[in-house]
C-alpha cells in the first residue's frame, strides 16, 4: 500500500494563513503588546513565523534575532538574512558563544546533547531579554511534529509567549511556506537546529518528517490503533517507536504540575 495515500495532510493554505495572521494580532491585542521578537535561525519554521508575523503586524513591529554560536554554519546566517531582506523586519545579531562557552567550560567531558540544550536555552535568554528591552512578546516557532515527538528543549526553543505554528505538521509548514513564496533554498534544505556541525533533525530522529507526519496523522488526528496502522502499511516496531516518543515526552507538552493545597481554582481569573 502507498502510505502517502492513507492520510490527507493537505491544508487550505489561504484559510490557515488567515487564521494564523489573525491569531498573532489577537494575541497581541489580548495582552496589550504591539511588538514581537523572533529567533531567526534561517530554517523553515522560524522563517515562516517571521513572514507571518510581519504580515500580521508590519515589519517595524517585528524584531528578528540571529544568535550564532561558534560552530553555527555561515549558511544559517545567510539564509536568515534572506528572510530579513524579504520581510523588511528589524534585525539584530547577538552571538551566544561567550555565554555558552562559560558554562561548557565547567565540564570538559560534556556531551553534545547537553551542549545543544545550553545553546537553545542561551538563545531563549537573549530572546526574552530583547523582548523586555523592546516591550515585546516572544514568538514560538515549533511545529506540531516536533511538539508531538518531544523534539525541543524545555525553556529553550520550546519557550515562547505564543506559537503560531504549533498546530501545523512539518509537511503543512512546508505547504504554507511555498504559497507564501519563501526562498526555495530555505524550503528545500534539510531541517537542522544547527547545534553542532553536521547535525540534522531527521538524522537524530531516525526518520524523515514526510514519513512520520503521515503516521502521526493516523495516530493523533484519526486515533488509529497500532493494528490499524499496520494494516495501513506501517511496520509495528516503527509505530511503537513513534508512540513511545509521544508518551515519553508528554511532560514537555504540559505546564509543570503544582501540588494542590488549597481548594481554590488556580486557573480562576480574578
pLDDT (average), residues 231-255: 95
Q: What is the per-residue pLDDT for 262?
A: 87
User: Tens digit of pLDDT for each residue in 31-77?
Assistant: 999 999 999 999 999 999 999 999 999 999 999 999 999 998 899 99
pLDDT at residue 87 tops 60: yes
Q: What is the per-residue pLDDT for 2?
A: 42
- Residue 227 makes CB contacts below 8 A (sequence gap 6+) with none
- Residue 98 makes CB contacts below 8 A (sequence gap 6+) with none
pLDDT at residue 27 tops 70: yes
- For the chain, the structural domain boundaries read 12-204
User: Tens digit of pLDDT for each residue in 200-215?
Assistant: 766 677 788 888 999 9
* Maximum pairwise Cα distance, the chain: 55
pLDDT at residue 265 tops 80: no
Architecture of the domain made up of 12-204: 3-Layer(aba) Sandwich (3.40)
Q: What is the per-residue pLDDT for 193?
A: 64
Q: pTM to 2 decimals?
A: 0.90
Q: What is the per-residue pLDDT for 268?
A: 54
pLDDT at residue 217 tops 70: yes
Angle, to 10 degrees, between the axis of helix 112-134 and the axis of helix 97-104?
140
CA distance 259 to 262: 9
Amino acid at each position: 500500500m502507498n502510505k502517502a495515500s492513507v492520510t490527507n495532510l493537505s491544508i487550505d493554505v489561504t484559510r490557515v494563513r488567515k487564521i494564523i495572521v489573525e491569531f498573532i494580532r489577537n494575541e497581541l491585542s489580548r495582552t496589550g503588546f504591539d511588538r514581537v521578537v523572533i529567533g531567526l535561525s534561517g530554517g523553515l519554521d522560524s522563517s515562516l513565523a517571521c513572514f507571518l508575523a510581519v504580515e500580521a503586524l508590519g515589519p517595524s513591529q517585528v524584531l528578528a534575532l540571529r544568535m550564532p554560536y561558534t560552530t553555527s554554519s555561515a549558511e544559517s546566517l545567510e539564509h536568515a538574512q534572506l528572510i530579513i531582506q524579504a520581510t523588511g523586519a528589524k534585525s539584530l545579531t547577538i552571538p551566544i558563544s561567550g555565554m555558552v562557552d562559560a558554562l561548557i567550560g565547567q565540564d570538559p567531558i560534556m556531551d553534545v546533547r547537553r551542549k545543544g540544550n545550553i545553546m537553545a536555552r542561551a538563545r531563549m535568554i537573549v530572546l526574552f531579554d530583547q523582548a523586555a528591552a523592546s516591550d515585546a512578546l516572544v514568538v514560538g516557532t515549533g511545529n506540531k511534529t516536533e511538539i508531538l515527538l518531544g523534539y525541543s528543549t524545555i525553556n529553550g526553543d520550546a519557550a515562547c509567549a505564543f506559537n503560531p505554528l504549533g498546530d501545523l505538521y512539518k509537511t503543512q509548514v512546508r505547504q504554507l511556506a511555498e504559497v507564501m513564496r519563501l526562498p526555495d533554498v530555505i524550503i528545500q534544505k534539510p531541517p537542522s537546529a544547527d547545534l553542532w556541525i553536521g547535525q540534522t533533525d531527521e538524522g537524530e530522529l531516525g526518520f524523515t518528517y514526510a514519513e512520520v507526519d503521515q503516521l502521526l496523522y493516523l495516530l493523533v488526528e484519526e486515533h488509529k490503533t497500532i493494528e490499524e496502522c499496520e494494516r495501513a502499511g506501517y511496520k509495528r516496531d516503527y509505530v511503537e517507536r513513534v508512540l513511545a516518543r509521544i508518551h515519553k515526552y508528554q511532560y514537555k507538552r504540559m505546564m509543570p504540575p503544582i501540588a494542590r493545597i488549597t481548594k481554590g481554582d488556580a486557573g480562576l481569573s480574578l
